[in-house]
Amino acid sequence: CTDKTGTLTEGDVRLVEVTGPTGGPAPEAGRLAAVNATLQAGVDNPLDAAVAAWARDNQIDLAGAVKVAEIPYDFSRKRLSVVAEIPGLDGRRLVTKGAVLTVLPQCSTWRTESGTAPFDSEAQAAVNAYCQARGEEGLRVLALAARTVPLQAAYGVGDESGLCLEGLLVFSDPPKPEA
């Protein structure tokens, strides 16, 4: 339950949780989400502002992270990707944040507590169940995925494939009492 216009909700979007794909710990997901939200140059929106505020509150260090390219958000893909060089990570990373239903099909692996594993139908069912449960609590969930990409002159929508589902971003925006 989030409302970018604030018609039905208080308009106070907050990132309340950064989790692994099924609700467990995801230490690197918060940093990747912050890179995506703070380096993107698209339209300002309350979800990215909430991620940036969460990153400040949690003292996420983004020093030295440099955006190389951006694949802007659009309403058909419902996701935005940033290609960045991030200190401590080898190579360039494409970091995608967006609607669960449009990010999951782009994932071939997912981050588990023991590393990465194939993102098969059983894994997808587990993620969908987690998102459904959070949605029933009135929370909105976005998916966060990433992969190392080669050095190249330009990046596009075709590069948003073969991703690793890194985590889920859980947002709250309380409904107005009259809603």
| Catalytic residue IDs | 3
Q: What is the phi/psi pair of residue 145, to 5°?
A: -135, 160
Q: Which residue in 175, 167, 178 sits closest to 20, CA to CA?
A: 167
What is the full DSSP assignment across 25-53? --HHHHHHHHHHHHH--S---HHHHHHHH
Lookup: tokens for 17: 């949780």
Asked if 146 and 32 touch (Cβ cutoff 8 Å), the reply is yes
Sequence-ordered alpha helix ranges (H) in 70-120: 100-103
CA 93 to chain CA centroid, nearest Å: 13
Across-strand partners of 81? 71, 96
